[in-house]
Amino acid sequence: MTVKEAYEKLGGNYVDLTYRVGEDMLLRLISLLVRDESYTDICMALEGEDYESAFNAAHTLKGIALNMGLTILAEKASVLTESLRSRGYNSNIQPSFAELEEVYKETYTVLSEVLDS
């Protein structure tokens, strides 16, 4: 799978990103995203009910996704970030996380496939 095909599949903004950074740099950024620990940090923080750390990790993931033109991932991370803004438990956290989890796993799988090809 090419980078362009991956971005099309993920609803990302390939044209804008390659204009700004070029495809070679984009491949390096994809590699960094695949290795990034923000999603794992969110999972661990939520499991431990550490909403401050979960907020920080979700906010970081949102920024990374925005900078990489991964609009859908950024939107889901943003929704979770807002659910965690109070840094305390509320009933919106779990549904927001479930949506992020689904999109993140698809994104991770697709981008890993790009790196493997």
pLDDT digit string, tens, across residues 40-95: 999 999 999 999 999 999 999 999 999 999 999 999 999 999 999 999 999 999 99
Is 117 a residue whose pLDDT tops 90?
no
Q: Are the CB atoms for 30 and 69 separated by under 8 Å?
A: no
Looking at the domain 3-111, which fold is it?
Answer: Four Helix Bundle (Hemerythrin (Met), subunit A) (1.20.120)
Q: What percent of the chain has pLDDT over 90?
A: 97
Q: Which of 53, 104, 50, 51 is nearest to 77 (CA)?
A: 104
Is pTM beyond 0.75 here? Answer: yes
3-state SS string for 6-64: HHHHHCCCHHHHHHHHHHHHHHHHHHHHHHCCHHHHHHHHHHCCCHHHHHHHHHHHHHH
Task: Taking residues 17-30, report their average pLDDT.
Answer: 92
Distance (Å, whole) CA 49 – CA 66:
26
What tokens appear for 73 in the block? 């991932």
Hey, where are the domains in the chain? 3-111
